Amino acid sequence: MSVIAEIEDLRRLYQRRTPRMFCDFVESGSWSEQTLRANTGDFKHLRLRQRVAVDMSNRSTRTTMIGQDAAMPVALAPVGLTGMQCADGEIKAARAAEKFGVPYTLSLLSICSIEDVAEHTTRPFWFQVYTLKDEDFMRRLFDRARAAQCAAIVITLDLQVLGQRHKDLHNGLSAPPRLTLRNLANIMTKVQWGLGMLGTKRRAFGNVVGHAKGVTDPGSISAWTAEAFDETLDWDRVAQFRDMWGGKLILKGILDVEDAIKAADLGVDAIIVSNHGGRQLDGAMSSIRMLPQIVDAVGDRVEVHMDGGIRSGQDVLKALSLGARATHIGRAFTYGLGAMGEEGVTRALQVIHKELDTTMALCGARDVHDLGPDNLIIPQGFDDPTVTL
């Protein structure tokens, strides 16, 4: 068994074991990938304050997210096509999250359906939706989420149109994969992946196929997005969806103070400061640099979470120190899943937990709730988007 010391170890294994088109799908950002790079790069501008001779016994990473207990302030972000990274991927990731004691968010664009995941887990998970033109389908999605006892709906607001990722176009990304000669030649080298896929029936968009009317090509994300997503979405419509669901609600994809204030005005339970992992508006600021001013503006009214660029427990600690109530990881757990299935997601969570716990100790903090800007050395202008670091 390979030694897994850090997320990068999982990433290397992942790249060896997963077909190129799905690796490219995960690794890519939109256009020039400037925002993708900034998400990880800006964490490095923040340095940690080393403290000594502080009682560091009895540390705790436990917290709550929207009133739900969690072993650490890290949730699994919605990742579309997770079930193409590894057979039955959503079920495996949800089970790993459940055993570890952190929230799992199922994407609307998952391979395993809401019902599949509910059947194979015992803890309520969160369900992420995009807002679609088909009102009837949206209502039925919320009904299905209620029947599956989902604990929260996450509405993603930053993808009404799809940011272009060049490699997905070149690869002809679809689920199930289109078997061109090039794709087939690559898939043949991924034996474990192929055997897994042969052994499952779940190979298409489980929440959509057979449920959405008149969708002619749910195999291709770009075609589906162009057809089904509602470009007229505005804040009134978001409020209608809030009322239609009636339960705990999280708004994802907030990167601007004015939008954060509008989201908080709707009385939602949490917002996620996010730029979709650098996959939508290329050129947008990194999430970590936008976090402080959003926390300042609405942190007393709504839980402020963040995602984008988290690859270690140190990154989690930095986000918490800048005021995030919790963080979400996308690629970090997906690497684990493609590398080693459910066990790999567990490893990813263990790695991040251990790094968070040890880093807290070395910073002289015993509880995640005690972290604050005092634990960091923050470069001047970090929270000012007009300053180039």
Single out the catalytic residue among 276, 305, 328, 353: 276
Ligand-binding annotation for 107, yes or no, is: yes
Compute the least distance from the CB of residue 7 to ligand FMN, in Å: 10
Ligand-binding annotation for 273, yes or no, is: no
Compute the least distance from the CB of residue 173 to ligand FMN, in Å: 10
Ligand-binding annotation for 165, yes or no, is: yes
Task: Give the span between the Cα atoms of 90 and 46, in whole angstroms.
Answer: 33
Compute the least distance from the CB of residue 306 to ligand FMN, in Å: 9
Alpha-carbon torsion (284, 274, 334, 143), positive or negative: negative
Ligand-binding annotation for 330, yes or no, is: yes
**Closest residue to ligand FMN in the complex (CB):** 330
Compute the least distance from the CB of residue 57 to ligand FMN, in Å: 32
Question: Which residue's CB is nearer to ligand FMN, number 107 or number 183?
Answer: 107
Question: Which residue's CB is nearer to ligand FMN, number 13 or number 365?
Answer: 13
Kindly give, in sequence order, each residue whose CB lies less than 8 Å from that of residue 232, ignoring residues fewer than 6 positions away: none
120 labelled catalytic: no
Question: Which residue's CB is nearer to ligand FMN, number 63 or number 82?
Answer: 82
Q: Using CB under 6 A as the criterion, which residues of the chain lie in contact with ligand FMN when the complex forms?
A: 25-26, 39, 77-80, 107, 109, 128, 156, 252, 274, 276-277, 279, 307-310, 329-332
Ligand-binding annotation for 308, yes or no, is: yes
Compute the least distance from the CB of residue 265 to ligand FMN, in Å: 22
Are 157 and 251 within 8 A, CB to CB? yes
Helices 331-362 and 7-17, packing angle to 10 deg: 170
Compute the least distance from the CB of residue 140 to ligand FMN, in Å: 19
Question: Which residue's CB is nearer to ligand FMN, number 284 or number 310?
Answer: 310
Beta bridge partners of 74: 327
Ligand-binding annotation for 130, yes or no, is: yes
Ligand-binding annotation for 274, yes or no, is: yes
Ligand-binding annotation for 276, yes or no, is: yes
Question: Which residue's CB is nearer to ligand FMN, number 42 or number 365?
Answer: 42
Residue 307 Cα distances to 94, 271, 296, 311, angstroms: 18, 11, 17, 10
Question: Which residue's CB is nearer to ligand FMN, number 56 or number 233?
Answer: 233
Binding positions: 78-80, 107, 128, 130, 156, 165, 252, 274, 276, 279, 307-311, 330-331
Q: Name the residues annotated as catalytic.
A: 276
Binding positions for FMN: 78-80, 107, 128, 130, 156, 252, 274, 307-311, 330-331
Binding positions for glyoxylate: 165, 276, 279
